[in-house]
Structure 1
Amino acid sequence: MAAGVCFLILVGLAVLALGLIMNHYLPLFSKHSLLPRGTFGWPHPSNSVGHFLQDHCSRYGRVFKSHLFFSPTVVSCDQELNYFILQNEDKLFQCSYPKPIHGILGNKSMLVAVGDTHKRLRNVALSLVNTIKANPDFLDDIDTTAIQVLCSWKDKRQVIFCEEARKVLGLGPDDVQAREILKDFLTFMRGLISLPLYIPGTPYARAVKARSRISSTVRAIMQERRRVSVENSKKKNDFLDTLLRVDTLSEDEKVSFALDSLLGGYETTSLLMAMVVHFLGQSPSALQEMKEEHQEIRGMKQKDEYLNWEDFKKMNFTQNVVNEALRFGNIVKFVHRKALKDIKFKDYSIPCGWKVLPIFSAVHLDPSLHANALQFHPRRWETQDQACKKFTPFGGGSRCCPGSELAKVEVAFFLHHLVQNFRWSTNDGDHPIAYPYIEFHKGLVLDVESKLV
């Protein structure tokens, strides 16, 4: 009996290996004669501008074929093709993340949804953003939280900024539930881009379990919020209350929405905030110019008066700094798509069913498109249009991030108080690392000196 089981296992493994080999090499015999140049080498872990992309671009050009995520793939580091892909969502291309990522994000996630389901979820997201923006307390809450976090630094010599940034965005480790979510969320992020093996102990398996625990915690928070709102007619009118009032989403979709918001609205925004603080610490001239801009804005307001939308619109240099951090830091590096039909673009074709991987970071760091591309230079945005094809930090088309403006406001308001009330320096060696996702391995440790009285 044992020998028979072993034989079946060996046969199964042989069939699996044969399937992988066939899947890998069959594209070599594609009928398409205009395929981009390239090689079907085995999947490579690099997905940012590094040796892999530099080597392939130098050998084959900015568009080349490869074999990534177990699929034949056209990789694009080309500005025009990237823009073409983004503008033809659900027409010629469709979001197509590898199946293992669905296991982490969940099938109800707006990030992996396609077609009419994605349109419905995106419309809800836009409605939520507009409702939050229209809330008169929204900007006051951002301002108040930023001040509270910075006041807690007053007697400190050193802070771990990535933790502090999450507090600014309302996800600080101040209670048991928040600590649980933060711990599980970091596990979730580490497994999001990892080898998709569901074996106990692997980053992927831990991420799937962490996602399940986060979902359970979020569901419990939602149930508690409903109970409190029934007993108390006064509502908070925050994101969660607004989400709970949406009657076009199922309970599972609301939980997924909350998780998507953690990924897009909290983690990505806190990383952007950390990037800005890191780059400003390396650029004294940009920091000084930002201080002067915010001192001028504060000089036109009463001592304890809150910031408003008009103040945000006056933060021109600050917005240039944020744009440059988005370009140079490349928080969102690439997206996954698949071709819905045979596509002819310029001198090459993309076969139906092939994956396409537009690399945003390659365009953002292309010296032929951005002068001194490997330098942090905020003043470039005084003459460069942030809506141009060569700058897509929040994606594009129907999948452009709906909360991008909210993220910029949150970062700008925090910087307003930071640059006027603190000096800081970064520790040597604590630089952003781009693999498996962008993070500061030490959490961006800052030596701080308060000017608060």
Structure 2
Amino acid sequence: MKHRIADSTKRDMEVLMLVSLIVGPMLLVLALLLQQMQRSSSGRKSRIPKGNNWTLPFFGETFNFLKDPHNFHLKHIARFGETFYASLFGENCIVVTTPEASKWVLQTAQQSFRPGYPRSATTIVDPTETIYQPKFHARMRKIVGSTLNPDALQHYVKYIDSVARISLTNWESNRIVNLYDEMKKYTFYVALKIICSLDPGSELEEMALNMEKVKDGFFSLHIDLPWTRYHSALKARDALYKSFKKIIDRRRKESRRYNDILEDLMFSDEPGQKFTDAQLQALVLSLLFAGYETTSAQLVWTMKRLHENPDILESVKAEHDAIRKGKLREDSLNWEDIKEMKLTLRVIYETMRTSHLDVFIPREPLQDLEYDGFLFPKGWKIHASISAFHLNPKIFPDPYKFDPSRFEDGGPPPNTYMPFGNGNRRCLGSEVAKTQMLISIHHILSNYRWEAVGPDRGIQWWAVAIPKGGYPIKVQPR
């Protein structure tokens, strides 16, 4: 009897294996055919750009893209042209890689697009699903822009200077520091001060840890299970929201003024247009994410580029030594000092051009659109790759050479250089970011020498492109 049951079970297993061997490939072929039908069904007046005909179901080409986005773009451009189709993050995408097409997506036709970030990113930052809506976004920009314009920014120079000094106090002689970790703390503290007037301390350290988890889940699969990065990011987001809610509640009970972004958002004077607490929390988180991650990455790249180009490094040091001349060691920088950092600013511009900033800026068409003979179907994702033309030899000769002189005498031609994006969603914090970078570079170069520890290990791409390992350096006082 036991043998008959065992034999029956064995036969059932064999049948299941046979069925899976037959049905599995059939389902795969069906998925691929459906993918092709979805692409070809949009064949109206114009055509969909060329791309790989066969890709993995659901995942598409995502793994190759995440492994090395720049190389992914170069291979596709060489094979399919400067506008091409790709299946990324489980969706149909069209990637544009020229200044003209990027300007069209981000500026000329901007009213016909909305942000097209992966579902994981939008749900983590904004469970209210309102802050990326055009009218809401325009209102937010109007309020925040008044706080971050160059005139208003002058009042933050002294504070940013003090945070930069605090960030460097533990750089002891011959100490090895991870520059990316150090710069993240610095830019995070500055961002929280400008957004909601928080000073460095244990509360900010806890927020920084939760922000890292949010960042790690930003480009993850949209799967809310306990072991996923997405789930961990949601829990970290909730912890940050709880901290933000405490700050908001405290503000409502106080009579003092803070003159920061949160106060402007809470008490905007448009009648009947008050932000809800959930919207305020989402806005603070989105501004915080935008305000520290890319800036810290660019600081790391700048220091790496200077170390690799000693002649430029010595010229930049001389610029900062001249600024420090006549100042006491404890004297803070001022706005006039910032304006004297002309060479350093060109170094920053060239760093942003060469550091794969904004590998893609995703948008989604609100209706079928046509451009340059191509169809951009409603609901697809459109990726504008800024770094693709920043490193295009037709636009920037010898593009991988680090040459800050490219930004002398007016710099590159219009719309060929867009490190902060373009159009009505251009980065609001561009002036803050540049000011933070100038001040931090000033204090590092004025007080330290450094050398890289270990070999160059390439690039770590997500959530922003940084030297793999975060660029550990050995520092010594000058």
Letter in 2 for 1:119: A
Q: 1:88 aligns with which of 105, 108, 115?
A: 108
Q: Structure 2: how far apart are the matches of 1:77 and 1:166?
A: 29
Gaps (5+ residues) in structure 2?
Answer: 1-25, 191-198
Q: Structure 2: how far apart are the matches of 1:376 and 1:175?
A: 38
Q: 2:159 aligns with which of 124, 132, 141?
A: 141
Q: CA deviation at 1:184?
A: 1.6
- 2:139 equivalent in structure 1: 120
Partner SS state of residue 291, structure 2: helix
* 1:409 and 2:429 matched: no
Q: Structure 1: how far apart are the matches of 2:30 and 2:236?
A: 33
- 1:330 equivalent in structure 2: 356
Q: Does the 8 Å contact 1:194/1:204 carry over to 2? A: yes
Q: Does the 8 Å contact 1:90/1:115 carry over to 2? A: no
- 2:236 equivalent in structure 1: 210
Change (3 A) 1:41 1:185: farther
Q: Does the 8 Å contact 2:390/2:399 carry over to 1? A: yes
Q: Structure 2: how far apart are the matches of 1:350 and 1:71?
A: 13
Change (3 A) 1:135 1:188: closer
Q: Structure 1: how far apart are the matches of 2:397 and 2:222?
A: 39
Q: 2:461 aligns with which of 429, 434, 440?
A: 434
Q: Structure 2: how far apart are the matches of 1:338 and 1:91?
A: 11
Q: Structure 2: how far apart are the matches of 1:445 and 1:108?
A: 39
Q: CA deviation at 1:54?
A: 2.1
When the two structures are aligned, how many residues end up with a matched partner?
432
- 1:398 equivalent in structure 2: 424
Q: CA deviation at 1:89?
A: 4.9
Q: Structure 2: how far apart are the matches of 1:312 and 1:436?
A: 29
Q: Structure 2: how far apart are the matches of 1:299 and 1:358?
A: 44
Change (3 A) 1:24 1:123: farther
Q: CA deviation at 1:77?
A: 1.3
Q: Does the 8 Å contact 1:190/1:437 carry over to 2? A: no
State the TM-score, normalized to the length of structure 1.
0.85
1:120-166, Cα deviation, whole Å (9 max, x unpaired): 12212212324x95376411111122223223324562222223223
- 1:309 equivalent in structure 2: 335
Partner SS state of residue 209, structure 2: helix
Change (3 A) 1:152 1:238: farther
Gaps (5+ residues) in structure 1?
Answer: 1-13
Q: How does 1:340-419 map to 2 (within 5 A)?
A: 340-383=366-409, 385=411, 388-419=414-445
Q: How does 1:4-23 map to 2 (within 5 A)?
A: 22=34
Change (3 A) 1:392 1:412: same
State the TM-score, normalized to the length of structure 2.
0.81
Q: Does the 8 Å contact 1:430/1:442 carry over to 2? A: yes
* 1:274 and 2:300 matched: yes
Change (3 A) 1:218 1:368: same
Q: 1:158 aligns with which of 158, 165, 176?
A: 176
Q: Does the 8 Å contact 2:188/2:208 carry over to 1? A: no
Partner SS state of residue 371, structure 1: coil
Q: 2:61 aligns with which of 44, 47, 65?
A: 44
Change (3 A) 1:243 1:26: closer
Higher mean C-alpha displacement, 279-288 vs 163-172: 163-172
Letter in 2 for 1:100: S
Letter in 1 for 2:461: A
Q: Structure 1: how far apart are the matches of 2:405 and 2:260?
A: 36
Larger Rg: 2
Identity of aligned residues (%): 27
Change (3 A) 1:31 1:149: closer
